[in-house]
Chain A
Amino acid sequence: MTNDIEIKDKAAWDAAEKVADYEHGWSSDIETDFAPKGLNEDTVRFISAKKNEPEWMLEWRLKAFAMWKTMEAPDWAKLNVPPIDYQDAYYYAAPKAKPKLSSLDEVDPEILRVYEKLGIPIAEQKLLAGVEGGEVGGLPQRRVAVDAVFDSVSVATTFRAELERAGVIFRSISEAIKEYPDLVRKYLGKIVPMHDNYFATLNCAVFSDGTFVYIPEGVRCPMELSTYFRINAENTGQFERTLIVADKGSYVSYLEGCTAPMRDENQLHAAVVELVALDDAEIKYSTVQNWYPGDAEGKGGIYNFVTKRALCQGRNSKVSWTQVETGSAVTWKYPSCVLNGENSVGEFYSVAVTNNYQQADTGTKMIHNGKGSRSTIVSKGISAGHSNNTYRGLVRVAPNAEGVRNFTQCDSLLLGSLSGAHTVPYIEVRNPSAQIEHEATTSKISDDQMFYAMARGLNAEEAVALIVNGFAKEVLQQLPMEFAVEAQKLLGISLEGSVG
């Protein structure tokens, strides 16, 4: 028992060690239940029926679908995406399992094996397996409650009982729709409206599962919450939906991780994440995104079109986004904060790595509507191979928002001479009292640094990983410990083959 913390650390290292050469690139043999291929109204009805949804939910989906048909895919990002055939994909794939799972024991053992192979949350193997940890050396052991989403369906949520005692609701969103309809209806689609953008609207129509979290007034969530997303079935789109509501004076830290197996075809991932923080509430949302990036020639990989937005509704509310983006063939993602509350705070810490033929267009929007609201943006872009990495960020200050402050720092690091780094800041200030600072740098790893590290015993790849980790330090240190360890390893791994 005394060396449990050691073991956990080691498990994280081991897991990360295994990731070499895209360790997640296996697909497992699980019987899968598909919706018919293609996308039409029947698909939407099928998904809703599969989930026994109430009528209002089906209507909401159908409205979104009708809307989506009138919309066009956005093309303003610095991305080169071939047209996507939305009819050539499955929109619902569920592992065939017992219909109701009350404990992990009932989960298909093959699925458990899948999670075993997954890496990090995996540092929490024991926890995922529902073994409640005790005290170690007088210190409370760190615990993480995990919700696991497999293809389209949430298959397991751990620590439910203990969370419930604290009043925390941690559920798959499909359960929440049935069990807490009023709470869900109050916020669903209120932060990211149905018509927000092409991919968000599509998500409204066909979202399959995801996570719902509610932290009641004054409660500090007793453990970190985590969702693990995995696309496994072939030709499947994954459209998850996450909604987190932090009531007055509450606090929660939420981690999101993802993987997908190697496939020659591109797979679509279009998630929507909505966060709401009321007065004095704080949400810390961390992501380590490791979707399959495609091979060295740019074949295959996930198209990751994600809409993430937080509403800092209450005074003194705070939302902090931290993301480490290493995967996906294409990333289109701008986790944002709408700062309505007086003195509310938005933060965005991002590391985006692109290698080979990956493309990333990512950044944030800080919308300052509240007086005295503040935001911090730290973006670290690392581009290698033939990849393209763009930071796109908006800072907007409304006319009535007095005393707003923003600090933005965008640093780009280039490896080799074939990759591209771009910074596209938009600043719209309509109140003269605002203090806005923007700093941007672009650099290369210097030969001096490389040689210095190598002369001390690191090989070229280790040297690059070390220097890149130093470059990304400010962001990595925002992550919870276990994630930081995995993220460090991932940075090195995603840059393999980029030197020499």
Chain B
Amino acid sequence: MLQITNLHANVGDKPILKGLTLSLNAGEIHAIMGPNGAGKSTLGYVLSGRPGYEVTEGSVTFNGQDLLALEPHERAAAGLFLGFQYPVEIPGVSNVQFLREALNAQRKYRGEAPLSGGEFLKVAREQAGALGMDMDMLKRPVNVGFSGGEKKRNEMVQMGIIDPALAILDETDSGLDIDALRTVGDGINRIMRKPDKAVLLITHYQRLLDYVKPDFVHVLDGGRITRTGGAELALELERDGYKELAA
């Protein structure tokens, strides 16, 4: 599904990704771990096409398509979803309006009919309900005044509504309380654990992986993948840390 080959990328003039190679098949969940500043969020941004993140070498294909040639909104329409480490506030725009416009923009791009207000609300209500989010919150402006955990939960509601093929979830677990962690974990499994989907789960801790069991765990350090293993690698990292690993 996703094939990243020898990816080099700069933020400003600073090289952050330095030859990253990674491939995800449909039906797989991959976890990425790594020290602060390693380039994990950068990878998410580069894959979603954030302006200012310049690819200097390498290639990325997504379902056979050259992902790097697409604009951010085209990548979204092609099925890519980025769950933000720091979700952004948009004052004056309700979650409902934001998501309906976004979803219908994607549908339009794919040549599908737009969802009516009623159809959209039905989907939104289901997803918010499944993730334990109040409909009143969906009517509030996007992320404005949301607590850290509420913002993360909102990212998952958005993912549920958009129903992407590939989700890159950047520290979705950080900021969640114990119960919310379980709800979000269940949500990821419910929405994304399907034969035609894949997930790239960026996280620092084992606790989310207790709920969302990864097929592969990678260590990203210094801008490249330094180690790959199964679910047990996360436990090993939790016990020993990255320093031990490097030694």
Known contacts A462-B101, A466-B101; decide if A455 and B76 are in contact (CB<8 Å): yes
Let me know if B92 and A470 touch, CB within 8 A: yes
Q: Is B84 an interface position by the 8 A CB rule?
A: yes
A side interface size, CB within 8 A: 23
Range, interface on chain B:
20 to 34
Cα distance, A451 to B46, chains bound together (Å): 12
Cα distance, A470 to B92, chains bound together (Å): 4
Cα distance, A448 to B82, chains bound together (Å): 13
Q: Is A467 an interface position by the 8 A CB rule?
A: yes
Let me know if B102 and A457 touch, CB within 8 A: yes
Q: Is A141 an interface position by the 8 A CB rule?
A: no
- Residue among A466, A473, A474 facing the most chain B CB atoms (10 A cut-off): A466
Q: Mark B69-84, 1 if CB is under 8 A from A, else 0.
A: 0011101110001101
Q: Is A472 an interface position by the 8 A CB rule?
A: yes
Query: Which chain B residues (81-125) contact chain A, with CB distance < 8 Å?
Result: 81-82, 84, 87-93, 97-99, 101-103, 105-106, 109
Known contacts A457-B109, A462-B101; decide if A452 and B88 are in contact (CB<8 Å): yes
Known contacts A457-B76, A457-B162; decide if A472 and B84 are in contact (CB<8 Å): no
Query: Which chain A residues (419-465) contact chain B, with CB distance < 8 Å?
Result: 446-449, 451-460, 462
Cα distance, A199 to B238, chains bound together (Å): 76
CB distance from B127 to the nearest CB of A (A): 14
B48: A residues at CB distance < 8 A: 451, 455
Cα distance, A453 to B50, chains bound together (Å): 11
Cα distance, A113 to B182, chains bound together (Å): 61
Q: Is A471 an interface position by the 8 A CB rule?
A: yes
Cα distance, A470 to B91, chains bound together (Å): 6
B99: A residues at CB distance < 8 A: 456
A452: B residues at CB distance < 8 A: 84, 87-88, 90
- Contact for A447 among B52, B93, B97, CB less than 8 A: B52
Q: Is B172 an interface position by the 8 A CB rule?
A: no
Q: Which B positions have Cβ atoms within 8 angstroms of A?
A: 48-52, 71-73, 75-77, 81-82, 84, 87-93, 97-99, 101-103, 105-106, 109, 141, 158, 162
Besides A451-B50, A456-B99, A470-B92, 18 other A-B contacts (C-beta < 8 A): A448-B88, A451-B51, A452-B87, A453-B98, A455-B49, A455-B76, A455-B81, A455-B82, A457-B76, A457-B106, A458-B105, A459-B73, A459-B105, A467-B90, A470-B90, A471-B92, A472-B92, A473-B92
Q: Which A positions have Cβ atoms within 8 angstroms of B?
A: 446-449, 451-460, 462, 466-467, 469-474
